[in-house]
Structure 1
């Protein structure tokens, strides 16, 4: 099967279908951590400021134009609650880096856990892989923060 290149439809599919499902898997994987915080938010983000180096300088970066370079999920955990520890917040992203004919998924621009062609279905195991790796890193971040504070 031929998979399309990055375009409006491919970006909308990621934003409207893949990200919400991935968010559900991430939410499930961090449920044990949530009671430690006052509040949390998990939201979809679209980067409309990073330009495609090959694009015309005056072309607006937008989903409509099919030239968005990055989108993903941002988690905010606010008000860590533990007696004797100063409260703090944690944020963590999962980033979809949109190349011309495929995209990668990882914690940042330089690390990738998964690469997929556009519009290829995600298997349940792939959602679980990304959510699992991501929540492991979140727990590591949390542990490091606590070790610095105690």
Structure 2
């Protein structure tokens, strides 16, 4: 059975590659499968082992920069899924949860997490459309402005 979507061609079209799976920063694993679902741990915007940005959105970090960081988090989450089961097995992205380290008064968390959602749509088409939560928080690990986790249905 072939892939549900041509995710690899879509990544190429976007000029992106799946990164290596980020090493856990604590006592957890990057992704776990339960039945037909894969749940990822929260992913930070690591690029080549370093955070791409730090700070609070609405103060130190612009909305556009945070949106790009959310897309990187989603790409890192896909790497975790790929490392566990392979992206060819993805039937659809079911849910995305995004956390945004927000400056006081910043209320555009959904626009930040659109970076992840839009990327998943570009990669998986209709199978990338998902339910979602976008939550503002005071602090995130290592001073990152955004963290994203996802749930994928797999074959």
TM class, shorter-chain normalised? 0.3 to 0.5
User: What TM-score does the superposition give when structure 1 sets the normalisation length?
Assistant: 0.33
Higher relative contact order (CA 8 A, sep 6+): 2
User: Which is greater in Rg?
Assistant: 1
User: What TM-score does the superposition give when structure 2 sets the normalisation length?
Assistant: 0.32
